[in-house]
Amino acid sequence: MERMLVVVLDNETKAYEGKAALRQLERDGSITVYVGAVVTKHADGTASVKQYDDFGPVGTLVGTSVGSLVWLLGGPSGIAIGAVSGLALGALFDLDNVLVGDDFIDDVSRSLTPNKVAIIAEIEEEWTTPVDTRMEALGGTVLRRSLRQVRRDLRDEEIAAMKADLAQLKDELYNAHGDRLAKLQKTIDQLQAKIDAQQKKAKELREAFEARQKSKRELLKKNAAAAGRALKQLTKTPL
């Protein structure tokens, strides 16, 4: 199951230990980590990305649920990332890519208090015990939520509603004259432009999503091989 994982810890040392533990769990075949970042919340309420993992199309923070959540936690003027990644601030954030509910974002915000550090990762896991055991041993607070496609569904519904309005306006156009005809045509043109823009954005999101899913499948294949090797080794281990 694809999940957003947030582990809140007391300091950066613990966070890096936690990140190393996640990588070990991945090598063991327990989870797959698609993209992750270490984020520090400062005393003034701002946040900074201290480290992030880059594994190609999946790993970059740009356009991912992790990048968008990081942006929300720090606010538009509160994320410092340039020294770590060279990314532009605005590139991180797209509301369509958050893919978790507002209640989860609120839970993370309440846990990630000033001077705390969080590991934020998009992962694949089938059971929660391996991650929870390792993170709780470090004193971490673990929050997780399954990723969802709700915002993409809402965009499709919005486009459908605008198309319905456009169809009605075009029907009215046949019986309009003079100034009313010109006003209707202007409204139709403006609405069509909005629909075109929304469809273009939806297409871009769909293509980006498909590219990330393809890369995720490749990572899962590699991780499945690692899990297979671990199981073979286990069968050779005497009781």
Catalogue the E-assigned strands of 44-202.
Answer: 47-52, 79-80, 117-125, 141-146
Q: What is the pLDDT of residue 8?
A: 95
58 and 155, same domain (yes or no): no
Is the domain of 200 the same as that of 93?
no
- Is residue 99 a contact partner of residue 149, using CB atoms and an 8 Å limit? yes
Residue ending a domain, choose from 93, 127, 148: 148
Pick from 24, 30, 226: nearest CA to 124: 30
Segment 129-151 shows an average pLDDT of 85
Which of 86, 119, 148 represents a domain boundary (last residue)? 148
3-state SS, 159-219, equals: HHHHHHHHHHHHHHHCCCCHHHHHHHHHHHHHHHHHHHHHHHHHHHHHHHHHHHHHHHHHH
Whether the Cβ atoms of residue 62 and residue 91 lie closer than 8 Å to each other: yes
Q: Are 52 and 130 within one domain?
A: yes
Q: Identify whether residues 28 and 128 lie together within a single domain.
A: yes
Residues paired with 125 in a beta bridge: 31
What does the pLDDT look like over 26-85, one tens digit per residue?
Answer: 888 888 887 788 888 888 877 777 766 644 444 455 456 777 777 777 654 444 444 344
Give the residue with greater pLDDT, 63 vs 194. 194
Which residue range forms the structural domain that includes residue 205?
151-236
- Whether 175 and 227 map to the same domain: the answer is yes
**So what's the pLDDT on residue 179?**
87
User: How far apart (Å, rounded) are the C-alpha atoms in residues 62 and 86?
Assistant: 11
